[in-house]
C-alpha cells in the first residue's frame, strides 16, 4: 500500500517526508500489520486518509521500544507497537478494536480514567492491579501506566496515548519479600517470647536456688551452733573442771594448750556461723548499720572499707535487704581476690525512690567487655547471679571498670512506698 509522502510530525504545522509509516529497513511486525490492515472496516478511514497527527503519532510509537498504544477517535480505536503486544496475552487480535472492548475485563477501572484523559488531564498509575483474561481464565496482573491526551494544534483532543509496563513479577517479588519479612518478624516475636519465658524461668530458678542455698546455710549454721559450738563450749567447761583435780604441772600445761586449741576451734566455728548466718543486725531495716557490721568483718581479710551515707531514710523490703547485703558482701570478696588493693569505699544514697549502693576501689580493674562474656563467675553469687536477683526485685547492677584504674559497681533497688 502506497501512502501519501506527506504527514505531520508533532502537530499540523511541521511537515516531514516518509515513504511509509515506518522508514524502510526498520519495519516492525506491527508496522507491517498496520500497513496491511483494511482500516475502512473500522470507524477510522483508510490509512491514506488518516490525519497527519495520527500518522505522526503512530510513526513515533512504532519507533519506540516501549509498550505504547494509541486510542483514536470516539471509539478509541486501538493501534499499538511491538512492545505492547505481550501485554495483551492470548486476547483476540486487538488491532483496530475499541480500547475498552480489548480490555473488557478492566473496563470498570480504566473507563473513568480514559474520560479524564479525554478531558485533557494526563494521569499516571503505579502498581495497579487488574484481573485479566489470560490462558482462558482471570489472573491477577499489575501495571504502571499512563493515559495522556493527543491534541491537535488548536487544542482539540482526538485520542489518548496509553504507555504501560507490566510489573507483575516485581509486585509479586515485593509481596513475597513482604510475606517473608512478616514471617520472619513473627518468628522473631515467637523466639523473643520464648526467650523471655526462658528468662523468667531462669530468674525463677535462680531465686529458688538462692532460697534453697540460704535455707541450707541457715540450717548448717544452726547445726554448727547447736551441736559443734555447744560441744566445744562444753569441752572448755570440762577442761576447767578437770584442772581443779590435777596437780601435775606438765599435765596442767598440756591441758592449757588443749584448751587453747578448743577455744580457737570454737572461735573459728562462731566466725563460720556468722558467715553463714549474720547476727540479728541483719534483720534491721537500717542498711547503713549492716554495712558497718560487714566492714568490720572485712578487716580480718585486710580490707579497709570507708562508708558514706547521705542520711536519708531508705525503707526496703526484707528480700531487698538480704539481696543487697549478699551482693555487697560478694563484691567485697571480689575486691579481696582480684583488685590487689586493701582499701575500698561504699556510698549509700537514695535517689528517685531507689536505694543506691556504690562500691568503689582503685585496684587492678578489668576489661568490662571481656567480663560481660563470662558473668557467671565461680562460687558465691557471681556477677550474673547478682544481676538476676536484682532484676527480679526491680533493681539493677551497673559496672564501670578500666584496666589499671579500678572498678565502680552501682547496685540499685526499689524503696518501699511511703505509707
* pLDDT score, position 72: 96
Structure letter (DSSP) for residue 120:
T
Go through 253-264 and write b for each residue having 16 or more CB atoms within 10 A of its CB, e for each that does not.
Answer: eebeeebeebee
Closest CA to 336 of 305, 366, 302: 302
67 falls within a domain: yes
pLDDT along the chain (419 residues), means of 10: 32 36 58 91 90 92 93 95 90 90 92 95 93 82 94 93 93 88 90 82 73 75 76 82 83 85 83 67 68 88 92 87 88 89 93 93 83 48 77 90 90 85
297 falls within a domain: yes
* pLDDT score, position 280: 53
274 falls within a domain: no
188 falls within a domain: no
Find the domain containing 347 and state its range. 279-414
214 falls within a domain: no
- Domain with residue 319: its CATH number is 3.30.565.10
Q: Which of 119, 139, 165 is the last residue of a domain?
A: 165
Compute the distance between CA of residue 148 and CA of residue 161 in angstroms, rounded to an integer.
5
360 falls within a domain: yes
What does the block give as the cell for 419? 505509707
Number of domains in the chain: 2
- Domain with residue 66: its CATH number is 3.30.450.20
Q: How many CB atoms lie within 10 A of CB 224?
A: 18
Compute the distance between CA of residue 34 and CA of residue 11 in angstroms, rounded to an integer.
21
350 falls within a domain: yes
Q: Which of 149, 165, 181 is the last residue of a domain?
A: 165
43 falls within a domain: yes
Pair 155, 148: CB distance under 8 Å: no
SS3 15: strand
Note whether 160 and 286 are same-domain residues: no
Q: In what order do the strands lie in the sheet with 396-401?
A: 304-309, 343-351, 354-361, 407-414, 396-401
Note whether 145 and 293 are same-domain residues: no
400 contacts: CB under 8 Å, gap ≥ 6: 368, 407, 408, 409, 410
Compute the distance between CA of residue 302 and CA of residue 297 in angstroms, rounded to an integer.
10
Could you give phi then psi for residue 78, rounded to 5 degrees?
A: -90, 125
What does the block give as the cell for 119? 478531558
Compute the distance between CA of residue 69 and CA of residue 92 in angstroms, rounded to an integer.
16
Q: Which of 131, 150, 165 is the last residue of a domain?
A: 165
Compute the distance between CA of residue 357 and CA of residue 325 in angstroms, rounded to an integer.
10
pTM attached to this predicted model: 0.47
What does the block give as the cell for 397? 547492677
Amino acid at each position: 500500500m502506497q501512502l501519501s509522502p506527506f504527514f505531520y510530525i508533532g502537530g499540523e504545522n511541521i511537515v516531514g517526508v516518509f515513504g511509509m509509516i515506518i522508514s524502510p529497513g526498520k519495519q516492525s511486525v506491527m508496522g507491517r500489520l498496520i500497513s496491511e490492515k483494511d482500516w475502512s472496516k473500522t470507524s477510522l478511514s483508510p490509512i491514506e486518509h488518516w490525519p497527519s497527527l495520527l500518522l505522526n503519532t503512530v510513526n513515533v510509537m512504532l519507533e519506540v521500544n516501549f509498550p505504547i498504544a494509541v486510542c483514536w477517535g470516539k471509539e478509541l480505536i486501538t493501534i499499538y507497537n511491538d512492545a505492547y503486544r505481550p501485554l495483551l496475552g492470548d486476547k483476540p487480535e486487538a488491532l483496530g478494536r475499541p480500547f475498552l472492548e480489548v480490555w473488557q475485563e478492566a473496563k470498570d477501572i480504566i473507563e473513568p480514567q480514559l474520560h479524564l484523559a479525554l478531558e485533557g488531564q494526563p494521569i499516571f498509575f503505579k502498581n495497579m492491579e487488574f484481573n485479566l483474561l489470560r490462558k482462558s481464565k482471570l489472573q491477577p496482573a499489575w501495571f504502571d501506566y499512563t493515559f495522556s491526551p493527543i491534541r491537535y494544534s488548536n487544542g482539540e483532543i482526538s485520542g489518548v496515548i496509553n504507555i504501560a509496563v507490566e510489573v507483575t513479577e516485581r509486585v509479586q517479588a515485593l509481596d513475597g519479600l513482604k510475606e517473608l519479612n512478616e514471617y520472619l518478624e513473627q518468628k522473631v516475636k515467637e523466639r523473643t517470647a520464648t526467650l523471655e519465658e526462658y528468662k523468667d524461668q531462669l530468674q525463677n530458678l535462680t531465686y529458688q536456688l538462692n532460697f534453697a542455698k540460704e535455707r541450707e546455710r541457715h540450717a548448717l549454721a544452726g547445726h554448727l551452733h547447736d551441736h559443734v559450738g555447744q560441744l566445744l563450749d562444753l569441752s572448755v567447761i570440762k577442761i576447767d573442771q578437770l584442772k581443779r583435780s590435777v596437780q601435775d604441772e606438765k599435765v596442767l600445761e598440756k591441758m592449757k594448750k588443749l584448751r587453747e586449741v578448743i577455744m580457737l576451734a570454737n572461735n573459728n566455728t562462731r566466725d563460720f556461723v556468722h558467715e553463714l548466718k549474720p547476727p540479728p543486725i541483719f534483720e534491721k531495716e537500717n542498711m547503713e548499720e549492716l554495712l558497718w557490721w560487714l566492714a568490720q568483718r572485712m578487716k580480718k581479710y585486710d580490707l579497709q572499707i570507708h562508708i558514706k551515707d547521705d542520711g536519708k531514710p531508705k525503707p526496703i523490703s526484707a528480700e531487698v535487704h538480704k539481696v543487697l547485703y549478699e551482693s555487697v558482701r560478694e563484691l567485697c570478696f571480689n575486691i579481696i581476690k582480684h583488685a590487689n588493693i586493701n582499701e575500698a569505699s561504699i556510698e549509700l544514697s537514695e535517689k528517685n525512690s531507689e536505694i543506691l549502693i556504690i562500691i568503689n576501689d582503685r585496684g587492678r580493674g578489668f576489661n568490662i567487655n571481656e567480663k560481660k562474656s563470662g558473668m557467671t563467675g565461680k562460687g558465691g553469687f557471681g556477677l550474673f547471679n547478682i544481676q538476676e536477683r536484682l532484676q527480679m526485685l526491680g533493681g539493677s547492677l551497673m559496672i564501670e571498670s578500666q584496666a589499671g584504674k579500678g572498678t565502680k559497681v552501682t547496685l540499685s533497688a526499689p524503696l518501699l512506698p511511703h505509707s
